[in-house]
């Protein structure tokens, strides 16, 4: 993994970078996944399960996790195209899984909307 990379929970100052990233990586997302609205909703439910990868002064990746009482779920795992295959998604997944386990939630499933890019 890139040593300058920081994986940490989302903070409000990450909003612009995350919106830009999702617009680029998920250009065909349906209207109910509008990035700003999705962030607003995620911050109202288990906000501690929203991680970003930050490096070179910008947002390089994201992952949203959630727990429905039975399983942990992963959404919006996304990495900037030029930053891929450097282990950023793996790091984001580890952070999400660790947070789920720490809260005795069980990470088990993930969903994928677009194909791997
Ligand atoms: C999927 C995605 C998040 C991977 O990000 P990444 O930072 O490049 O992933 P990593 O470098 O951590 O790769 C980890 C492993 O995943 C697998 N992988 C990653 N990209 C892959 C691809 N395009 N095809 C096949 N396997 C892939 C590989 O096993 C890889 O390990 P390796 O590089 O040692 O072979 C990124 O390609 C992306 O944002 N794609 C578009 C959005 C998407 O499809 N998200 C998932 C559904 S929400």
pLDDT digits 0-9 by tens, 20-70: 999 999 999 998 889 999 999 999 999 999 999 999 999 999 999 999 888
Q: What is the mean pLDDT of residues 100-112?
A: 71
Domains of the chain (ranges plus CATH)?
A: 6-102 (3.40.630.30)
- State the average pLDDT for the chain: 89
pLDDT higher than threshold 70 for residue 108: no
Please state, as a whole number, how many other Cβ atoms lie within 10 Å of the Cβ of residue 8: 11
Mutate to test the pocket of ligand 1, among 2, 28, 53, 84 (most ligand atoms within 8 A of CB): 84
Who lines ligand 1 at CB under 6 A? 25, 76-79, 84-90, 112-114, 116-117
Q: Please state, in angstroms and rounded to a whole number, the distance separating the CA atoms of residues 33 and 5.
A: 27
């Amino acid at each position: 993994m890139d040593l300058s990379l920081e994986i940490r929970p989302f903070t409000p100052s990450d909003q612009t970078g995350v919106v830009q990233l999702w617009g680029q990586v998920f250009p065909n997302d349906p209207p109910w996944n509008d990035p700003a609205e999705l962030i607003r909703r995620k911050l109202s439910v288990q906000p501690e399960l929203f991680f970003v990868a930050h490096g070179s002064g910008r947002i390089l990746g994201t992952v949203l996790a959630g727990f429905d009482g039975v399983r942990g779920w992963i959404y919006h795992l996304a990495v900037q195209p030029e930053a891929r295959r450097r282990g950023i998604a793996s790091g984001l997944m580890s952070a999400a899984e660790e947070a789920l386990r720490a809260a005795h939630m069980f990470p088990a499933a993930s969903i994928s909307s677009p194909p791997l890019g």
